[in-house]
């Protein structure tokens, strides 16, 4: 048996969807402009508040999908007050290593996963 599930494919599809949105659409241009310089984006006519709300909605959607993938594909259950092992902080570290590039997140996520798995194996062997 293996722990590989459909979540990997769903995640990769979502990475490319986010890459497309951020690089090829007006929404992506607005989100990047607000992220780089809020004042300049507002001066250029972008509704900063609406752009921030859109980015938070997208982030919430992706976090919800990630949580659903984790529960349905890996642990197969959830309990009351179930808190996973700091996946939110791991996600921040992965995004920083990838320099907030959606395609880079794939590779930094694999690197981070290898480090976590390797750390567990090193503890069990050594």
Cα end-to-end distance, the chain, whole Å: 26
What is the reported pLDDT for 73?
A: 76
pLDDT band at 104 (very low <50, low <70, confident <90, very high): very high
- Residues 25 and 31 sit within 8 Å (Cβ to Cβ): no
The predicted model gives 13-39 an average pLDDT of 96
Mean pLDDT, the chain, whole residue set = 88
What is the reported pLDDT for 79?
A: 65
H-helix or E-strand spanning residue 88 = helix 87-97
What is the reported pLDDT for 81?
A: 63
What is the reported pLDDT for 117?
A: 87
- Is 94 exposed, middle or buried, given 0-12, 13-18 or 19+ CB atoms closer than 10 A? buried
The token pair that represents 108 in the structure block: 């930094």
In tens, the pLDDT along 2-15 reads 667 888 899 999 99
- pTM, entire model: 0.81
- Residues 18 and 54 sit within 8 Å (Cβ to Cβ): no
What is the reported pLDDT for 123?
A: 86
In sequence order, what are the residues at sequence separation of 6 or more whose Cβ sits closer than 8 angstroms to the Cβ of residue 86?
A: none
């Amino acid at each position: 048996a293996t722990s590989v599930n459909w979540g990997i494919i769903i995640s990769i599809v979502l990475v490319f969807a986010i890459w497309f949105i951020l690089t090829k659409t007006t929404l992506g241009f607005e989100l990047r402009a607000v992220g780089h310089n809020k004042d300049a984006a507002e001066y250029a006519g972008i509704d900063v508040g609406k752009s921030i709300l859109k980015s938070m909605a997208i982030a919430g959607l992706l976090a919800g999908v990630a949580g659903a993938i984790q529960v349905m594909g890996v642990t197969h259950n959830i309990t009351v007050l179930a808190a996973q092992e700091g996946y939110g902080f791991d996600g921040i570290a992965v995004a920083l290593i990838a320099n907030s590039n959606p395609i880079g997140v794939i590779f930094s996520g694999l690197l981070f996963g290898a480090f976590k798995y390797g750390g567990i194996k090193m503890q069990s062997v050594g």
